[in-house]
Amino acid sequence: MSVRLKIAALVLVVAASGCSAATAGPPAESRARAASAMHVPPPGEEARALAVPFDAYNFSPAEIMTIEAAQDLLIRDCMRGQGMEWRLLPLPAEADVEPPNRRRYGVIEPRIARLFGYHAPPDRPSVARYDTERNDRLTRLSPAARRAAYGDPGGDANGCSGEAEAHLAKDTQKVDASLFNTLVRQTFEESQRDGNVVRAFRAWSACMRNKGFPYPDPIAAVTDDRWLNTQQPSRQEIIAAEADVSCKKDGDLVATWAAAEERIQRDVVLAHAEYFRTLKTHKDRQLGAARRLLARG
């Protein structure tokens, strides 16, 4: 999970990422992240409640983990067929998994602003443990087991992980993920030009200026160079983030912005009805296959 805020509209994807052969972080670093997670508050009620129409066509973090768990089962069976072991990972607690739109409109939770400023909080405990155990499993694979699991780099074979992904996707249509991501960006940008949102931005900006932070909109605040690339939040960043959350609440900015995005996205879904039906079928079939595998164990 990312340790740095990214505007949600720019990071959504259609397909689940699956099991990855990416380089794992050092075990000590992974354990340090897991330890720090013990002090991270759970997502607030408002963050969990945020939803937009495109959510129905995209994989949430929890749904991605469901697919990864099903892939884990398939990889285990594939590896056993080659005389190798594959350790299954326990799924994180559902309450610990990041809501899909938690930071869509920047920081909206007072406790998170007070603790982390504009920095994204570390993962919650069970999610941090899940990532740590996945990294540890990867680092402990022998060269032969790594080739069996992920194939030869640059070769034609995808290994057991590629077979697992193909199995879960076998009954789905190929979809153009780039179009979805383009529509996500376009609708997010259009929502910022909505009349009600523009007025809410002005009210928020005036509120922030009164608190000593002359930003034109929430995106300018969260992308301030003073804290964009820092490892830890400064005191000034925390003060700014707390002011940001307060000003959003005073002007009902989050509800106004979400309402604009809902209207704009619903219009886009209607305008691209066949494409979105394909996306929904793709998502439902892949998740259905994953859940059936998990039910069988």
Task: Give this prediction's pTM.
Answer: 0.83
Judged against a pLDDT cut of 60, whether residue 24 lies above it is answered with no
Two tokens, residue 167: 């199995």
Of 293, 222, 246, the closest CA to residue 73 belongs to: 293
What is the pLDDT at residue 56?
A: 97
What length does the chain have? 297
- The pLDDT of 69-89, averaged and rounded, is 96
99 in Cβ contact with 236 (< 8 Å): no
- The pLDDT of 100-128, averaged and rounded, is 95
Of 245, 260, 238, the closest CA to residue 207 belongs to: 245
Between 38 and 227, the higher pLDDT residue: 227
- The C-alpha torsion from 73 through 74 and 79 to 82, rounded to 10°, is 140
Residues 19, 68: Cα–Cα separation, whole Å: 6
The predicted-structure confidence for 281-294, as pLDDT tens digits, reads as follows: 999 999 999 999 99
Report DSSP state, residue 1.
Answer: -
Return the number of other C-beta atoms located less than 10 Å from residue 5's C-beta.
19
CA-angle at 209, arms to 206 and 211, nearest 5°: 115
Q: How many domains does the chain have?
A: 1
Between 3 and 103, the higher pLDDT residue: 103
210 is a domain residue: yes
Report DSSP state, residue 217.
Answer: S
Two tokens, residue 93: 């607690």
Q: What range defines the domain where residue 120 resides?
A: 8-296
256 is a domain residue: yes
Judged against a pLDDT cut of 50, whether residue 82 lies above it is answered with yes
Distances (CA, A) of 157 to 83, 85, 141, 166, 254: 18, 19, 18, 12, 47
What is the pLDDT at residue 40?
A: 86
Two tokens, residue 67: 């697919």
The predicted-structure confidence for 165-219, as pLDDT tens digits, reads as follows: 999 999 888 889 999 999 999 999 999 999 999 999 999 999 999 999 999 999 9
As a whole number, the mean pLDDT across the chain is 87
What is the pLDDT at residue 157?
A: 62
Judged against a pLDDT cut of 70, whether residue 22 lies above it is answered with no
2 is a domain residue: no
The predicted-structure confidence for 26-60, as pLDDT tens digits, reads as follows: 444 444 444 445 578 889 899 999 999 999 999 99
pLDDT band (50, 70, 90) for residue 155: low
- The pLDDT of 99-117, averaged and rounded, is 96
Judged against a pLDDT cut of 70, whether residue 19 lies above it is answered with no
